[in-house]
Amino acid sequence: MRIRGAPAIGLAAAYGILLAVENELRSAAHDPPDHYFDHDEEIARPGGVEIGAPVVRKKFMQAKKVIANTRPTAINLFWSMERMEEALDRGSPDPLEACARLAREAFIIHDEELETEFAIGRNGSGYLRDGMRVLTHCNAGGLATAGYGTALGVIASAHEEGKRLRVYVDETRPLLQGARLTAWELGRRGIDTTLLCDGAAASLIAARRIDAVIVGADRIAANGDSANKIGTLGLAVLCDAFDTPFYIAAPLSTFDPAVESGSMIPIEERDGSEVSSFAGVRTAPRGVAVYNPAFDVTPARLITAIITERGAVERPDAERLRPLRGPSG
Amino acid sequence: MRIRGAPAIGLAAAYGILLAVENELRSAAHDPPDHYFDHDEEIARPGGVEIGAPVVRKKFMQAKKVIANTRPTAINLFWSMERMEEALDRGSPDPLEACARLAREAFIIHDEELETEFAIGRNGSGYLRDGMRVLTHCNAGGLATAGYGTALGVIASAHEEGKRLRVYVDETRPLLQGARLTAWELGRRGIDTTLLCDGAAASLIAARRIDAVIVGADRIAANGDSANKIGTLGLAVLCDAFDTPFYIAAPLSTFDPAVESGSMIPIEERDGSEVSSFAGVRTAPRGVAVYNPAFDVTPARLITAIITERGAVERPDAERLRPLRGPSG
């Protein structure tokens, strides 16, 4: 949980696999070179020891298994590991060359994701007009992604276009990503920011004091049902009840065409201590049972539009989302 | 905010006025007797000093003004001070006799409120059947009331009838009354209790894993619109969206016939530091604006029934609620 946000988790998975393979080569050689994957330098065989290709592949699969079990909900994790595996198998089985391909692939993924976020920002900013009051939940900003943000990227993009926005930020219990991260990112960008408890959003939405809600996503099913940080579903239901647009901003890597609908998305349940204590202070009686899912699923029918790098899909469903996924989808 | 919960606030107002008047008499006498309002003992004139009736009345009105400004939303505050004022004016203007009447009235209010809560429990327990999963928000238990509880009184009553309930408790940000108080009260009563973040309730309600939501109220308008702890409205909207009964349990003293609808109920806004820091630890960037209303208003159309000591009113509106209020309403 040190790394959070679906796109950032995807990047961490790529870099994590790279580091695991790299460390294996170093320790196998008993003489770790510093830059053996740097292609500007001559590649040295570590200590002259030959390491077989099966060692690299074995370590790759071990790391993949460990990483896959860290955060079951974020699909980007699996997507970026698939790309890494393709890079592994793409060329020479030579361990050092394979490792270099993994490094290159991780950097390419990072770079592409950043471009993706700029595109999401451009595609979504039209939904935010000058003077709007926008509410967001959790953190879908630079700290959760490759650096620009998805939902916060859309807000940043509208802000860069000169639109004056007031952004309300749910503190987002239990881990307070909204208070700790989103409020900080928005403040740093000079955007008018107001923090509130998650439970206070209803009073604003019901009083028509919110013009749009925009959040990120951790996994989107083929029919548009979207998993995102716990508390998102409640916002979507409120938006539906009070005719307020509800947007999801997420890269295509968040889509999971293998999952038909939201009910099939696995939801990570986290330790109860996140709820029953704070900063080392107990906030609940000892031994109380805790229900602490990290995510909930918002059904597609409650989503006004899903904003991706290839454009936005309004009133999303399986039919409307299919063309987005392109030839591979 | 040391005292919270509408019925407890009403009692605190009564006792507060009593203490203010009592202290005035003592200090005016420069020789404070310990038990001058105890009717089992002979009443002694404090130090033989004659204190005029206007002194008592002046102090009463001062205290009333101070107390009225503490918590503007809870109507019970004003209701119990009205009763105290009637007691003041009811008999002899003699200061000690007036003070004794105030003491008696405060005890009577407390006793009546406790009886009221038992009646609310009996009137509401029929809505909770064996095996039900019930969700509550904030604390409407003994700690917020005369001692038995309103929403928690209904739950306790059903539990005492032998029904097995599972109670989900919203932690209730920002002050965590659910985690700190409700979870403790339910645990003490031996009721199966599960704590969750406010934002996690949506996922349970949407999955039909909650059979009923029951909460208290801080003020109920003539048409049934009900102010309660911030976060309540979101639950009511969710219940409406997913066909789950939503109950309010509150004494008639919570009703404010002078207020036609919820939009006229004043909502207390509290200091932002309740949200931006916890247990002395900052959780948000310094200087961030905070929106921190203590209550929200649930429109009557979202309430399945309001449960009072005179019975429950289903699908409450001004017409259906009128008979409840009796001759005085």
The answer on pLDDT for A328 being more than 70 is: no
Task: Provide mean pLDDT across the span A240-246.
Answer: 98
pLDDT of residue A45: 47
Q: Which of A233, A243, A297 to mutate to test the interface with B (most CBs of B within 10 A)?
A: A233
Longest CA pairwise span in chain B (Å) = 71
Task: Provide mean pLDDT across the span A2-27.
Answer: 84
Q: Which of B188, B218, B237 to mutate to test the interface with A (most CBs of A within 10 A)?
A: B237
Q: Do B234 and A202 touch (CB under 8 A)?
A: yes
- Tell me how far apart the terminal alpha carbons of chain A are, to the nearest angstrom: 30
Residue in B31, B170, B211, B218 annotated catalytic: B218
Percentage of residues in chain B with pLDDT exceeding 90?
A: 73
Higher pLDDT, A3 or A106: A106
pLDDT of residue B163: 98
Cα–Cα distance for residue pair B101/B113, rounded to 1 Å: 18
Tally Cβ neighbours within 10 Å of residue B173.
28
Query: Where in B191-310 does DSSP place strands (E)?
Result: 192-196, 212-215, 219-221, 226-229, 246-249, 255-256, 277-278, 281-282, 289-291, 295-298, 305-308
- pTM for the model stands at 0.85
pLDDT of residue B280: 84
Tally Cβ neighbours within 10 Å of residue A191.
18
Query: Helix or strand or coil: residue B96?
Result: helix
Which H/E stretch holds residue A67? Answer: helix A53-68
Residues linked to residue B133 through DSSP beta bridges, in sequence order? B166
pLDDT of residue B109: 92
Percentage of residues in chain A with pLDDT exceeding 90?
A: 73
Q: Specify the range with the lowest mean pLDDT, choosing from A19-33, A60-74, A193-207, B201-215.
A: A19-33
pLDDT of residue A50: 54
Q: Compute CA distances A54 → A20, A230, B88, whole Å.
A: 14, 41, 92
Distance from the A239 Cα atom to the nearest Cα atom in chain B, whole angstroms = 10
Task: Provide mean pLDDT across the span B247-262.
Answer: 94
Residue B144 tokens, joined: 């917020």
Q: How confident is the model at residue A325 (pLDDT cuts 50, 70, 90)?
A: confident
Q: Are B123 and B307 in contact (CB under 8 A)?
A: yes
Q: What is the dihedral of CA A174, A179, A182, A187, to 10 degrees?
A: 180
The answer on pLDDT for A281 being more than 80 is: yes
The answer on pLDDT for A297 being more than 70 is: yes
pLDDT of residue B278: 86
What is the 8-class DSSP label of residue A178? I
pLDDT of residue B2: 67
Name the residue among B176, B199, B284 with its Cβ closest to that of A231.
Answer: B199
In single-letter form, the type of residue at position A145 comes to: T
The answer on pLDDT for B140 being more than 70 is: yes
Cα–Cα distance for residue pair B91/B114, rounded to 1 Å: 26
Q: Which residues on B lie below 8 Å from A198 (Cβ)? A: 173, 197-199, 231
Q: Specify the range with the lowest mean pLDDT, choosing from A21-30, A42-51, A185-194, A309-318.
A: A42-51
Q: Among all residues of chain B, which has the CA nearest to that of A137?
A: B199
Name the residue among A192, A203, A283 with its Cβ closest to that of B176.
Answer: A283
Q: Do B199 and A230 touch (CB under 8 A)?
A: yes
Q: How confident is the model at residue A180 (pLDDT cuts 50, 70, 90)?
A: very high
Q: Compute CA distances A175 → A2, B27, B32, B183, B197, whole Å.
A: 11, 52, 53, 20, 10
**Residue written as tokens 């079990």?**
A69
Residue B88 tokens, joined: 């003041």
Q: Among all residues of chain B, which has the CA nearest to that of A181?
A: B284
Cα–Cα distance for residue pair B3/B146, rounded to 1 Å: 12
Name the residue among A192, A199, A284 with its Cβ closest to that of B179.
Answer: A284
pLDDT of residue A37: 44
Average pLDDT, chain A: 89
pLDDT of residue B8: 85
Q: Using one digit for the tens of pLDDT, what is the confidence trace for B68-81?
A: 888 777 788 888 99
Q: Using one digit for the tens of pLDDT, what is the confidence trace for B303-313?
A: 999 999 999 99
Q: Are B206 and B242 in contact (CB under 8 A)?
A: yes
Q: Do A203 and B283 touch (CB under 8 A)?
A: no
Q: Among all residues of chain A, which has the CA nearest to that of B267?
A: A203
Q: Which residues on B lie below 8 Å from A287 (Cβ)? A: 187
Highest mean pLDDT pick, A183-192, B6-15, B279-288:
A183-192
- Whole-number CA gyration radius for chain A: 21
pLDDT of residue A326: 66
Q: Compute CA distances A85 → A102, A130, A319, B98, B104, whole Å.
A: 8, 45, 30, 86, 80
pLDDT of residue A193: 98
Q: Tell which residue, A79, A77, A101, A92, has the closest CA to residue A18.
A: A101
For chain A, what's the residue count? 329
Catalogue the active-site residues of A: 218
pLDDT of residue A40: 39
Q: Which residues on B lie below 8 Å from A297 (Cβ)? A: 203
Q: Which residues on B lie below 8 Å from A296 (Cβ)? A: 200, 202-203, 206
Strand duo B295-298 + B305-308: pairing: unpaired
Q: Which of A137, A291, A297 to mutate to test the interface with B (most CBs of B within 10 A)?
A: A291
Higher pLDDT, B26 or B217: B217
Task: Provide mean pLDDT across the span A197-222.
Answer: 97
pLDDT of residue A48: 43
Q: Do B238 and A240 touch (CB under 8 A)?
A: no
Percentage of residues in chain A with pLDDT exceeding 70?
A: 91
pLDDT of residue A29: 64
Q: Which residues on B lie below 8 Å from A275 (Cβ)? A: 171, 179, 195-197
Q: Do A290 and B196 touch (CB under 8 A)?
A: yes
HSE at residue B169, side-chain half, CA atoms within 13 A, is 33
Q: Which residues on A lie below 8 Å from B196 (Cβ)? A: 275, 290-292
The answer on pLDDT for B94 being more than 90 is: no
State the complex-level ipTM: 0.85
Q: Which residues on A lie below 8 Å from B277 (Cβ)? A: none
pLDDT of residue B145: 84
The answer on pLDDT for B325 being more than 80 is: no
Q: How confident is the model at residue B22 (pLDDT cuts 50, 70, 90)?
A: confident
Q: Using one digit for the tens of pLDDT, what is the confidence trace for A78-114?
A: 889 999 999 999 988 888 899 999 999 999 999 998 9
Cα–Cα distance for residue pair A88/B96, rounded to 1 Å: 92
Q: Is residue B218 annotated as a catalytic residue, yes or no?
A: yes
